[in-house]
Each structure stands twice: as C-alpha cells, then as structure tokens.
Structure 1
Amino acid sequence: MDRNEQFIELYNRLDNLLREYYHLSERSFSVIKRYEDELKKSSLWKNRERGMALESIRTVRNTLVHEPKIKNQDIFMIEESVLDFLKKEIDLLIHPWTVYEKRKPLESVVYCHLESKVKDITNLMQKKHISHVPVLNHHKKVIGVFSESTIYTSLLFHSKVSINDETTIQDFIPFIELEHHSSERFAFLEKNARMNDIYELFDKRKPHDKRLVMIFITENGSIHEPLLGILTLPDLIQSIE
C-alpha cells in the first residue's frame, strides 16, 4: 500500500470516527468539514491551525478520489508528515485526553490560605510571573482566588484599606470570592472530563461574558471537593503543542 492509499484509508477512518463523535449516520455531507470549521473558530491558535490543515487535507482527498492519475501516473504523492497528522487526529478521538492528564497538579500550583501574608503572596506572584492564586482552606477546597485586581477592587470600595507586613488574605474577603471578580470567571470540571470540554468552555464565551481565567479540577467537578489541579489558557496552549 503506497502513501496515497494509506492517506485515503486514514481519511475514511477519521471520517467514520467523527460520525460516531457527532452521533451522525447519514453521509450526505462532509463531517470532517464540520470538525475543521469548529477548530478554525477556536480561541486557541493550535486548534485553528489543525482546522486549516484539515481543510487542505479534505481538498487533497477530493483530488485523489476524483482525479487520482494523469496518464496512469500519480498527480502527487502524500508526504509521511500528512499521514502522521491524520494518525494523531485519529488517536485523539480514540484516546481523548482528560483534564486530569493535562492539569497542572496541585503540588505544582502556587496557592495560599486565608492566614497567608499578602506581601508574601504578591512577591511570589511577581517572582513566578502569575496573576491568580487560588485560596484554599485546610481541606484543600477552593474558597476564592487572590489576583492582581483584588487589591485594586478592594481600594475602590474601601479606600481605607492599607497593606502592611501583617496584612493577610483574610483582610480581602469578600473580594477573593469567585463570584465577586468583576471581569473574570472560574469553572470547575471533573477529573475525567475530556479536553474538548475545556476548549468549549473557552470558545463559547459570549461578547459580554466574563473572561475565563482558571479551571479547577476536582474528583467530580464540585466546589466542595479538594482541588486536584488547575488549567489555564497558557496550560491549554502548551498541552496541544
């Protein structure tokens, strides 16, 4: 079997897997086009890149099927890298990544407690180049997020707030509470959720929605469970490279 024949075989397999993925039976339209269109609308450049690659692959496939040869000679021969791309797409559908596999584990997450000193946390944020720090109780459950905007928001509503060496995260309640972040939002997902579920959370944002900045991974996606890890947009970009 030459590379062109392998290409057609892999393309058809991807097509069949996508029909299962979308729960479709009819073959009156290209399900790969639907998939590529969704990828091209993604907020992640790597996904948009995959969508554009699939668009080119679909065009090549149509050429191979309808005009495969000229004077009994192949018009072109598919490169091995294209076959590898299709194999990877197929593998992602057969063995989809879970958020647990791609998460930043808790032991690698910078987090704090209510009694943590604000100066210590802000210094750590500056050193680690991070903008959001989950606030956990002593059962490792999320009770809020301390961010760069927390201090500014508190000053806006309470001009008498002052920060010294003894100021703690506790002093910024209720501004650390998840629902009180004015322009940001946070989500919880169960550890077995697929990565596609996360892409949808980022991609389905409406124009006036708060910006999704952090996803918390717990056993069943509940705020009342210990934190297992987090995912941010930079984590997502890194996970698909």
Structure 2
Amino acid sequence: MSEATETFIRIFEEIVGEVNRRAGAPGSHAFEIERAADRDGTVRRHRTLLLYIRDVRNTLQHPRHHAPGHAVQVTEGFLTEVQDLLRRLRNPPTANSVGVARRDIRTARLDDQLGELAEIMKREGFSHLPILDERDTVIGVFNEAAVFDHLWAEPEMIIGRGMRIEDILSHCRLGAGHTETFKFVRPGTPLDDLVQMFVALESPTTRVGAAFVTASGKETDPLQRMITPWDVLAGARD
C-alpha cells in the first residue's frame, strides 16, 4: 500500500469522526453522511465529495478484483482535496472570517450629503453604505434603490446633491420593501449557511443584498462586519 493511500485511509477515519459528530452519532460504526447533511450546512454542501470519498475508501479496502495491486490510485492532488475537506470540517470558515471589518467599512451618517456619498460610491466601487446611528448600530442602507424609491414616492419629486441622508431615511430603512433585504448574523455563523442565505430568494422578487455581523446577530447591537455575496463566493472558494 502506497504512502498516499495509507494517509488517505487515516484521514478518512478522521473525517468519519467529524461527520458522525455533526450527525449526533459520534459512536456510530457507519458513515452517517445523510444524517449529518440534514443537520449541518458544511456537510450538506460537501455531501457529493463525502460520498465519493467513501466509495474510494471502500474500493481500496474491500476490493472485488483478483489481480494484484489496487484498482484505483490515490493521487497527491486528491489527497490534498481530502485534507482540505477535513480542515474545513474541523475549522469551518465563519462570518468572522469573510467580508469587511468595521474599521474598513465606509458608512453613512444622518447628516451626510447625498452628493458626497454618491461620489464616494462611484469612485471606490461601493454599492451599499450602511447608515449608522450614534451607537454604531445599522438603521438603514444607502444605495440606488433608496434613491429611486424616494424619486417615485410622489409626483414631481426631486433629489439634490445637497440633500442629507435624514431627508430620505424612510426610503433607506432596513424594512423599506426594496428588492433587496438585509440580514444580521452572529460572528460564528458558518460560511456554508451564509452561502445558502445569499443564493436563496426571500421571495420571487427579493434577495439578500448584504449581511451585517453583530455580537448577538441582532440589529440592536453595534456593527462588527459587513458581508456581501461577493465576499461569500470568494470565501467559499478558499
């Protein structure tokens, strides 16, 4: 048996332990992939790979051929992928490891002028600016949807560069009813749960535009991080 194969079988047993723990069956002698997938987003996302790894291990340890040697060979590339999966199961990336930390987030305040914020968004490529109060809690989001909502609120409505956030705050509120909604999550929320949150539609015409990380996962706590769909896609590929 090659060194790569021996390493693969050892890592496989460790993966079984991690998956069965997530399945709530740490003492099971079976590989509880399906039970774990029903309970855990990380296992669910990697279910196909886990099933494949199980089949490779069974082929190696329970051969059905008579010729000498193994029917399959564990490559270094495949072994690396299996090791990465074990690492992800043991230390799954969370909301605290993706997105932008509070100190680097460009935010808006009630007395900020719309023209200045629009220039910043255009120059630096931002699509959303969280609006914070004096406690650093998110009370709304300034984006294109808020501007258009304000323009269409009444006939002959105008919007000027010198207007301030407080002038259109009702259209920036988190529950303003745009095609985007905004979620609040805890720092320990698994990355795989964030992936599912962003890909799912809130309604046929509504999706999640950004997630805000707070200590409790509630909007009443100060902002710690901001996560966009792009951040989650980048983190899921790592």
Which residue number in structure 1 is paired with residue 208 of structure 2? Answer: 212
- CA shift, 1:52, in A, is 4.9
Which of 89, 92, 98 is 2:88 aligned to?
92
Matches within 5 A, 1:67-78: 67=63, 70-78=66-74
For the residue of structure 2 that corresponds to 1:73, the secondary structure is: coil
CA offsets per residue over residues 71-101 of structure 1, 9 Å max, x none? 2212232112222222221122222223123
For the residue of structure 1 that corresponds to 2:212, the secondary structure is: strand
Aligned equivalents of 1:164, 1:149: Cα separation in 2:
16
Aligned equivalents of 2:77, 2:124: Cα separation in 1:
37
In structure 2, give the amino acid aligned to 1:14: I
Matched, 1:143 2:144: no
Q: Is the 8 A contact 1:188 1:217 kept in 2?
A: yes
Q: Select between 84-93 and 140-149 the one with higher mean Cα deviation.
A: 84-93
Which residue number in structure 2 is paired with residue 229 of structure 1? Answer: 225
- CA shift, 1:5, in A, is 2.3
Aligned equivalents of 1:213, 1:29: Cα separation in 2:
40
Which residue number in structure 1 is paired with residue 5 of structure 2? Answer: 4
For the residue of structure 2 that corresponds to 1:93, the secondary structure is: helix
In structure 2, give the amino acid aligned to 1:170: E
Which of 173, 180, 198 is 2:194 aligned to?
198
Which residue number in structure 2 is paired with residue 23 of structure 1? Answer: 24
In structure 2, give the amino acid aligned to 1:17: E
Which residue number in structure 1 is paired with residue 175 of structure 2? Answer: 179
Q: Is the 8 A contact 1:145 1:176 kept in 2?
A: yes
Matches within 5 A, 1:57-136: 57-67=53-63, 70-136=66-132
Aligned equivalents of 1:75, 1:154: Cα separation in 2:
67
TM-score normalised by length of structure 2: 0.84
- CA shift, 1:204, in A, is 5.1
CA offsets per residue over residues 175-224 of structure 1, 9 Å max, x none? 10001132111111122333233234335545537201111111111212
C-alpha change, 1:149 and 1:196, in structure 2 (3 Å) is same
RMSD: 3.0
Aligned equivalents of 1:206, 1:65: Cα separation in 2:
46
- CA shift, 1:228, in A, is 0.9
Q: Is the 8 A contact 1:36 1:54 kept in 2?
A: no
Q: Is the 8 A contact 2:23 2:37 kept in 1?
A: no
Structure 2: gaps spanning 5 or more residues: none
Q: Is the 8 A contact 2:132 2:140 kept in 1?
A: yes
Q: Select between 142-151 and 76-85 the one with higher mean Cα deviation.
A: 76-85
For the residue of structure 2 that corresponds to 1:174, the secondary structure is: helix
Q: Is the 8 A contact 1:36 1:55 kept in 2?
A: no
Structure 1: gaps spanning 5 or more residues: none
Q: Is the 8 A contact 1:117 1:167 kept in 2?
A: yes
